[in-house]
């Protein structure tokens, strides 16, 4: 998921494909090196389409990505293992103008997905 999220900073679909193959800190580091342009414009990209970071369509794109992730059995097991705990993300940012996914956007999606998984 980190590779996908960071790939949204690239407007070239071929570059996005490469970034989507990165995981964890490797993807995060690539993204950190590519923060200036999107922060100035607040525009992100997926497969040739431009998304306003502050727009509804962007949120729908992120929802679809997490819905796809929730099809992964290992992800579902890990999410269910959190029980009914309120999920937090202490190293994330809260300002949507500074991050492609705020702490709240991240954690609320995870808890929403968890609530939909049959136990």
**Mean pLDDT by groups of 10 residues along the chain of 119 residues:** 97 97 96 95 98 98 97 96 92 93 96 91
Residue 68 and residue 54: Cα distance in Å, rounded? 22
Please tell me the total count of domains within the chain.
1
**CA 6 to each of CA 17, 53, 76, 82, 104: distance values in angstroms, whole numbers, following the listed order:** 11, 13, 22, 25, 18
Q: Which domain holds residue 63?
A: 2-116
Residue 112: what pLDDT? 96
pLDDT at position 61: 98
pLDDT at position 84? 93
Enter the tokens of residue 43: 């525009």
Using a cut of 0.75, tell me whether the model's pTM lies above it. yes
User: What is the per-residue pLDDT for 77?
Assistant: 95
pLDDT at 53: 98
pLDDT reported for residue 6: 98
């Amino acid at each position: 998921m980190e590779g996908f999220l960071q790939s949204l900073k690239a407007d070239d679909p071929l570059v996005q494909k490469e970034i989507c193959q990165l995981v964890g800190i490797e993807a995060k580091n690539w993204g950190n090196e590519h923060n200036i342009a999107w922060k100035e414009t607040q525009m992100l990209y997926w497969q040739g389409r431009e998304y306003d970071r502050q727009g509804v369509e962007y949120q729908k794109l992120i929802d679809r990505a997490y819905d796809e992730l929730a099809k992964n059995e290992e992800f579902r097991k890990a999410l269910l293992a959190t029980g009914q705990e309120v999920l937090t993300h202490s190293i994330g940012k809260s300002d949507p103008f500074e991050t492609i996914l705020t702490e709240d956007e991240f954690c609320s999606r995870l808890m929403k997905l968890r609530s939909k998984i049959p136990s």
